[in-house]
Amino acid sequence: MSDLIDDPEPGQNAPEFTVSEISGVVKRMIEGEFSHVRIRGEVGRVSRPASGHLYLDLKDDRAVLASVIWKGTASRLRTMPEEGMEVIATGKLTTFPGQSRYQMVIEDIAPAGLGALMLMLERRKKALEAEGLFAAARKRKIPYLPDVIGVITSPSGAVIRDILHRLRDRFPRQVLIWPVAVQGEKCAAEVAAAIEGFNRLTPGGAIARPDLLIVARGGGSIEDLWGFNEEIVVRAAAASDIPLISAVGHETDTTLIDYASDQRAPTPSAAAELAVPVRADLMAALAGLEERRVRGMVQNLQNRRQRMRDLARALPKPADLVDNQSQRLDHLAARLPSALRARTAREHIRLAKASAGLRPVALRQAISQKHDNLQRVVARISQTRLTFFRPFRDRLAGLDRIHNSLGYQKTLERGYAVIRDGSGIVITNVKAAEAASVLNIQLKDGRLNVGGVTPPKPAKPEKPIQIAADITKDQGSLF
């Protein structure tokens, strides 16, 4: 009987789970056992997607733990994790069923001791320095005596009282205070916003734009001063158009804003001393300069007065110069009457000589002489014209003879005729004569038409050119 019943294989009676069920069981087990853990490790890959969450890896030399920091937690972190930083993360372990892996949800993260912070600080410093944010060439000169000073610090601490006290003792100036948190989570964002806010003020506006900025805080640990090492604060200080003095911590404390600022002060009180000169010292210096100016002016006047006396000794006396000229004037005045009489006599003689030539007889003689000279010039011109134009007259007469001998009128006198059609075109062959309706025949003494058409009036014979026999008889023509 037992041979007829098959025994079940081992394990076939175990319960069956779906994938989601087994993932849920694993999730509850891990979260129940590791609901609060603290893990020390090195930050590996860090990802910051647009959602605002942070994804990173915690690793050591043998394992890697995927981790996530939700957006709300990331905004409250005092220190943002960076790759290579050794940290202590506090949170819980959970699973991510979508990829069948477990991960840590970090609720707080902090550097693992002072060494980790210093290492991260050194890496950040090198990165920002490589961008040129600490270059000496971009630093601006601090104004000698600013009218308005903007102070970025906590309004309730001793720092602002020290700054105001030092400014009041040295040289009172208008001070604008921008209150900020100088440590904690809000420190970096508020300090950067204050620097940018002062730079956005319009010169001459309702709120005066500062000529100088002071970022100040008292001493503290590196964790307390960490907000002034944040990248957002360093970039805001480097981008400021207003010269900026950093006075963060004590003389031995150094933050990254000190490298990006235009000048670093060891303490807030020292920043106030760098911002303005001592009014009493300045007034003493001005009084000294005024004393030197007056003394120099008096000395210069004395030197010029002595120089003038030295030069005056080399000059002649004014009375001597006037006496000589006065004597010369008397001498000239004594000669003046005789000189006038002599000049009048000379001019009288010249007038007599000039008037002698104006008598009528002398004028008529002069006119007669000029008339004779004119007749001689006219005769010479007439002779010159006749001599000049004779060759041209002879040449023109010859050309006229040639024209008369070669003209067709002479040919008509020998019995020839010129035949034209009705339009006046000369006919030279029989074909053209047969085609013409009217023939106009020109003979020696006139023209006649063949064909019954009234002949036109005979043209007047051209007159030969007449050449003047005596060109001197008609001076208006060349012929």
- Indicate if 172 and 222 belong to the same structural domain: yes
Residue 346 lies in a domain: no
Residue 157 lies in a domain: yes
Residue 330 lies in a domain: no
Residue 163 lies in a domain: yes
- How far, CA to CA in Å, does 68 sit from each of 31, 81, 390? 15, 12, 133
Each residue of 105-152: pLDDT tens digit?
999 887 776 566 677 788 888 889 899 999 989 999 999 999 999 999
Number of H-type helices and E-type strands within the chain: 13, 13
Mean pLDDT over 331-338 rounds to: 87
Each residue of 54-73: pLDDT tens digit?
999 998 878 888 999 998 88
> What CATH number does residue 190 fall under?
3.40.50.261
Residue 32 lies in a domain: yes
- Indicate if 186 and 228 belong to the same structural domain: yes
Residue 374 lies in a domain: no
- Indicate if 141 and 272 belong to the same structural domain: yes
pLDDT band at 468 (very low <50, low <70, confident <90, very high): very low
Residue 126 lies in a domain: no
457 has a pLDDT exceeding 60: no
The answer, as to whether pTM is greater than 0.95, is no
Mean pLDDT over 184-209 rounds to: 91
- Contact of 190 with 233, CB cutoff 8 Å: no
- Indicate if 191 and 255 belong to the same structural domain: yes
- List the one residue out of 281, 261, 168, 253 whose CA is nearest residue 213: 261
Give the Cα separation of 449 and 440 in Å (integer). Answer: 5
- Indicate if 197 and 89 belong to the same structural domain: no
Those residues whose C-beta lies under 8 Å from the C-beta of residue 411, and which sit 6 or more positions away, are none
Query: Which of 277, 312, 339 is the last residue before a domain boundary?
Result: 277
Mean pLDDT over 188-197 rounds to: 94
3-state helix, strand, coil in the chain (%, to 5): 50, 20, 35
- Indicate if 270 and 141 belong to the same structural domain: yes
Q: Which helix (H) or strand (E) holds 263?
A: strand 263-264
Number of domains observed in the structure of the chain: 3
- Indicate if 95 and 164 belong to the same structural domain: no
- Indicate if 28 and 143 belong to the same structural domain: no
Domain range enclosing 268: 137-277
- Indicate if 162 and 81 belong to the same structural domain: no
Residue 72 lies in a domain: yes
- Indicate if 83 and 27 belong to the same structural domain: yes
- Indicate if 142 and 268 belong to the same structural domain: yes
- Indicate if 395 and 460 belong to the same structural domain: yes
> What CATH number does residue 25 fall under?
2.40.50.140
Those residues whose C-beta lies under 8 Å from the C-beta of residue 196, and which sit 6 or more positions away, are 236, 239
